[in-house]
Structure 1
Amino acid sequence: MSIAAPQLSWAPDAPLPALLISPLSHLGLMQVTGEQNRSFLHGQITADVNALDANRWCWGAHCDPKGKMLSAFRLFAIADSMMLLMPKELLSSDLPEFRKYAVFSKAELDDVSAQWTILGITGTGAADWLHGQFPQFNREQPLCQLEQGVILNDGERFLLILPTQAAAERVQEMPLYHHSAWQALEILAGYPGLDAAHQGQFVPQMCNLQALDGISFTKGCYMGQETVARMKYRGGNKRALYILKGHCSANVTPASTLELAMEEGFRPQGTIVEAVQNGDQLLLSAVLPNDTPADARFRIADDPQSLLALQPLPYTLENA
């Protein structure tokens, strides 16, 4: 049994449905197994793997030796396996980079995306629906281990990760939303939906990982750690992730050119990370100079009539 193709859409300006269930087909799972899986990851990524217990999840990033991100992900455990949840495009290109160093450890890394279905669930009825499906679900717990799979609690949003057959049975005949609805919510949360085209461009602080507790500055060495630490302690970071919303008639991708309104006209500014469109409504995240004024106005170069304004971040960027 497979999950039916989602038929519903949601725009950020519309009220949120009481129950929004979205198959997140754009996301994948990397599994790290073996007796040294935790110690291997601990020496590779920004997160403190050793401090992560079975009932929690966290953000993290994998960097190259220069401290530039190859991926950003949610990290958690299913039984004895460590799991990294990230866009499939990133997974396919980052997995070989991880494997270069895994040969020195008793750890194995695999793309297990085909074995699992990832469902994004939100709305005022989300917690009740999950409890009805899984009586052991506790919404006060950051991560709930199920007999098959897990539930990640992200405040008002939940990620249900189940084997594909089990997931299909749970949502059979349920109204399903396109994954762009979930992407819009992730953008509004200020999350780093890094695109494969931007691998090796940003240090983690440029995508606000420090504000999401995705960087440990006390865990010791990991790939790219010297650069990440220097950005914090010497103030070297001059960019941050911002949220922009407005209208645009052109199709927008991470390769589109974002332009800032100046007195003398417009000039290219920043890099689009993730974009979601519904009609002419546009919501996106972009890496911009961290001194960008709150009243700055932007447009998309392919549509001179477009207009975008900064939206408030749901967290602070102190000590970036």
Structure 2
Amino acid sequence: MKKNNYYNNKILFSKKYYKNWMYLQDWGLIHVYGIDSKKYLQNQLTLDINKLKDNFSLCAHCNYKGKVISSLRLFKYKTNHYILMERKNIIKYHLKILKKYSIFLKVNIVIDYNNIIFGFIGKKISYLLNIFFKKLPSSNKVLIINKKYKIIKLNEKIMRFIIIVLKKKSYKIKNYIINKFNYIKNNNQWLSLDIKTGIPNIDIIHSKKFFPQSLNLNNFNGISFNKGCYNGQEMVTKIHFLKKNKKSLFFLKGMSKNINNKNNYLEFRIKKKWKIIGSILFIIKLKNNIIWIQAILNNKLNNKNIIRIYNNNYCFFKIEKKFN
């Protein structure tokens, strides 16, 4: 691999999103297929699968209390066959829960160990990928599937593609992208754009702690309040119609030389005291000691509030964006 095509562990700012690629090793896939797969997912997931736009959407799977077990990217692979993309550290735990509810239906649920997930970021990626694939998704059709590849275009300001390919057939695309794109080893680069865009990711330590409305999924049409019964539906719709959601997804910015990833809580200052106001989902360090945080906080906070990591007098943050 060429040295100038290798960024290793650096997290880049948006002005350097030119033609970058990475293995999305922190994410995994679950396949749900069989005659009853659509019916089963309709009764489990927060979105209305009958209205699945472009065969792709963000959504969540909740427990009976309406708390999110896992946040998902769902796409329809073919008739009676769906694929869930989620954080890898929760995938085995989530698989057990999915199988638990499926025993009386004709549906198969398995983890995918045969495919690789690639992520592409940058202004020039569409042009370069089109040379290899000949046809790419567009803003009107975000998903293209054939026998070799599954290609998803994320409709965001900074261009991103997810490409899923069989491991045994991945050598051709690897040989092409190694010479054309800059390789980024750190998956936090992809995560940084999720933080900036307001896309939630739930790791296993945050499973079953938040309602889907608090995770900004309603802004991606990932929650249906009218489709009828699904797991956790009663609590989710009750919170929505009574307007009782007290938390929101936030993007915070700050600076620090050192960060303690073990501390999960954030505080804000009220008068002369500090009060716990929410939880950290993800915290990443960019260049020049800049820190980005994705957090679930009380939705009454505003840009004037100063926030810190719990009991840390050296690391303060301001609200960059609140996702209502």
- TM (norm. structure 1) is 0.90
Q: Confirm or deny that 1:160 pairs with 2:156.
A: no
Q: Deviation digits for residues 234-257 of structure 1, max 9, x if unmatched?
A: 111110110001112333437433
Query: 8 Å contact 2:137–2:152 — kept in the other structure?
Result: no
Q: Deviation digits for residues 256-311 of structure 1, max 9, x if unmatched?
A: 33221332043322000112113522111100011111221112236421121111
Aligned counterpart, 1:176: 183
What is the CA-CA distance between 1:166 and the residue it aligns to? 3.0
Q: Confirm or deny that 1:241 pairs with 2:249.
A: yes
SS at 1:305's partner residue?
Answer: coil
Query: 1: CA distance between counterparts of 2:150 and 2:261?
Result: 32
Query: 8 Å contact 1:127–1:139 — kept in the other structure?
Result: no
Q: Deviation digits for residues 189-218 of structure 1, max 9, x if unmatched?
A: 111111211111101011111111100122
Query: 2: CA distance between counterparts of 1:13 and 1:245?
Result: 13
Q: Confirm or deny that 1:70 pairs with 2:77.
A: no
- The code of the aligned residue for 2:145 comes to Q
Query: 2: CA distance between counterparts of 1:254 and 1:44?
Result: 32
Query: 8 Å contact 1:34–1:107 — kept in the other structure?
Result: yes
What is the CA-CA distance between 1:78 and the residue it aligns to? 1.9
- The code of the aligned residue for 2:119 comes to G
* Deviating more after overlay: 265-274 vs 36-45: 265-274
Of 215, 218, 233, the match for 1:210:
218
Query: 8 Å contact 1:121–1:158 — kept in the other structure?
Result: yes
* Deviating more after overlay: 93-102 vs 301-310: 301-310
- The code of the aligned residue for 1:247 comes to M
Query: 2: CA distance between counterparts of 1:255 and 1:100?
Result: 33
Aligned counterpart, 1:306: 315
Query: 2: CA distance between counterparts of 1:39 and 1:154?
Result: 26
What is the CA-CA distance between 1:312 and the residue it aligns to? 2.3
Query: 8 Å contact 2:11–2:188 — kept in the other structure?
Result: no
Over the aligned positions, Cα root-mean-square deviation in angstroms equals 1.9
- The code of the aligned residue for 1:182 comes to W
- The code of the aligned residue for 2:293 comes to L
Q: Deviation digits for residues 73-111 of structure 1, max 9, x if unmatched?
A: 010022342000000112111111111111011001111
Aligned counterpart, 1:103: 103
Query: 2: CA distance between counterparts of 1:289 and 1:154?
Result: 29
Matches within 5 A, 1:185-204: 185-204=193-212
Q: Confirm or deny that 1:261 pairs with 2:269.
A: yes
* Deviating more after overlay: 156-165 vs 98-107: 156-165
Query: 1: CA distance between counterparts of 2:146 and 2:207?
Result: 33
Higher helix share: 2
Unaligned runs of 5+ in 2: 1-5
Query: 2: CA distance between counterparts of 1:270 and 1:167?
Result: 42
Query: 8 Å contact 2:266–2:310 — kept in the other structure?
Result: yes
- The code of the aligned residue for 2:290 comes to Q
Query: 8 Å contact 1:131–1:138 — kept in the other structure?
Result: no
Aligned counterpart, 1:3: none
Moved over 6 A (4+): none
Query: 2: CA distance between counterparts of 1:94 and 1:252?
Result: 28
SS at 2:50's partner residue?
Answer: helix
- TM (norm. structure 2) is 0.89
